[in-house]
Amino acid sequence: MDFLALDFETATPQLDSPCELGIAVVRGGVVREVRNWLIKPRYWPHFSPWNVAVHGIKPEDVAGAPRWEGIWDEVAEVLHQQTIVAHNAAFDMSVLRTTLASHGLQHPTFQYFCSISMCRKVWPGHPSYGLKPMCDLHGIRFKHHRAGNDAEATAELVLRALDQRPSFDMTQFLLEAKVKVGAFYPGGQRTPGGKLAAAASY
């Protein structure tokens, strides 16, 4: 079972202000690697105190970090043609789409789904489907609101769900669990709900 789990942290409420990106790489049903990039956002040194209170990343922590355009080629290669999951994918994919647009960069090609939607389908009836309560439920320990840690925890959560259907591949699992899938492609984005959004002009 191969897929990626992705998580962004942002410096401000503006979606094109990523200050950290984490990607957990799952190969053969095991988290093989966690990639983490600190990013100097385009609005640096402005950070919202509310965002800092959540993730603890401060302007000085990213002062020497690369800008988005300095990591994008590497990130794009990791994402290309993959199946990607994010917990609250609407947020993370909006960060990616908006950041690419503000930098005039073309969309990569991949499909994605939301692990909140997955959890609701696989484990119905819980009062909260946030990442921490779901991970607490399944004994997954992690430091919340740092991108690499959240990405790895999301990957482990998906693997717990897949353990209930060991004979399925990812496509079968998503179909059987009725989890909707979205996609990025060079011309735009299709959300899991089927809504189309055009990419910015380059």
Residue 33 backbone dihedrals phi, psi, to 5 degrees: -160, 145
Asked if 85 and 5 count as a contact pair (C-beta separation under 8 A), the reply is: yes
Q: Tell me the pLDDT band of 104, cut-offs 50, 70 and 90.
A: very high
- What per-residue confidence (pLDDT) applies to 202? 42
- What per-residue confidence (pLDDT) applies to 193? 81
Instruction: Calculate mean pLDDT across residues 80-108.
Output: 96
Greater confidence (145 vs 118) lies with 118
Q: Domain segments of the chain: what residues?
A: 3-198
- Which residues touch 78 (CB under 8 Å, ≥6 apart)? 4, 23, 25, 35
pLDDT at residue 5 greater than cutoff 80: yes
Q: What pLDDT, in 10s, does the model give residues 125-179?
A: 999 999 999 999 999 988 887 999 999 999 999 999 998 877 678 889 999 999 9
Architecture (CATH level 2) of domain 3-198: 2-Layer Sandwich (3.30)
d(CA 2, CA 142): 22
Q: What pLDDT, in 10s, does the model give residues 38-89?
A: 999 988 999 999 999 999 999 999 999 999 999 999 999 999 999 999 999 9
- What per-residue confidence (pLDDT) applies to 87? 97
- What per-residue confidence (pLDDT) applies to 154? 97
- What per-residue confidence (pLDDT) applies to 60? 97
What is the H or E stretch that residue 86 is in?
Answer: strand 83-86
End-to-end CA distance of the chain: 35
Instruction: Calculate mean pLDDT across residues 85-113.
Output: 96
